[in-house]
Amino acid sequence: MGILEDKARARQFYKYLSKVYDRINPFIWNEEMRSRALAMLEIDADDRVLDVGCGTGFGTEGLLEYTEDVYGLDQSEHQLAKARAKLGDTPVTFTRGDAERLPFDDDAFDIVWSSGSIEYWPHPVRALEEFHRVVKPGGQVLVVGPNYPPWPIVQQILDAIMFFYDESEAQRMFEAAGFDDMRHRTMGPNHLGDLALVSVARTPVD
């Protein structure tokens, strides 16, 4: 387990990163990538959407282009403060909470979105099970995470920091959490290649 998969360390990390996050993030996860990921979802104007690990609200801003019924959740009070300041005039409801223990009722959302958060989860499948619980039957879940690089030495370094994974691991995790109809797509900024892995899945309809 990487050092930033410890929740206390991750909160401390973001206490300082939140001050410069919005200046650094565009080099890794930019608006064009966000738009391509959003296009993988079917979002209606009346859908209720949860952004897990919303950070300073970058993904939340994109979701607001489709629906006004958006909730943001993050474990870092410093990131949430930035998000509230940035999106204070919008109807977004922000909540401090844990991806592995979501403070929401069963079947509360039509869609769960999470970008740039899974790499900090100690138990990714547990969090995906929570996503499954709070999404209505037939609802969608989209997760953006760090794509595992092909170089073994780099893999060892990254594994010591946080969670990286590939498409086969993403497929395994979503299946273990009870999803079906999985699709995966890599993307990234031109200067870094396919840095991100985007996975979309649905909850089965009984």
pLDDT at 6 over 60: no
Q: What is the pLDDT of residues 178-194, one digit of tens each?
A: 999 999 999 988 766 78
> Hunting for tokens 């138990």 — which residue is that?
123
Q: What is the pLDDT of residues 60-79, one digit of tens each?
A: 999 999 999 999 999 999 99
Residue spans per domain, the chain: 3-22+32-202
Q: What is the pLDDT of residues 79-102, one digit of tens each?
A: 999 999 999 889 999 999 999 999
Q: What is the pLDDT of residues 134-186, one digit of tens each?
A: 999 999 999 999 987 765 565 565 566 678 889 999 999 999 999 999 999 99
Greater confidence (76 vs 9) lies with 76
Task: Report domain 3-22+32-202's class.
Answer: alpha beta
CB count, 10 Å around CB of 131?
28
Contact 170, 197 (CB under 8 A): yes
Q: At 87, give phi and psi (nearest 5°).
A: -115, 25
Q: What's the pLDDT score for residue 141?
A: 98
Q: For residue 152, give every residue at least 6 positions away whose Cβ sits within 8 Å of its Cβ, in sequence order, or none.
A: none
Q: What is the pLDDT of residues 10-69, one digit of tens each?
A: 555 555 455 665 676 667 779 999 999 999 999 999 999 999 999 999 999 999 999 999
Among 44, 79, 78, smallest CA distance to 59 is for 79
Query: Interior CA angle at 59 toward 151 and 175, to 5°?
Result: 60
Mean pLDDT (the chain) is 87
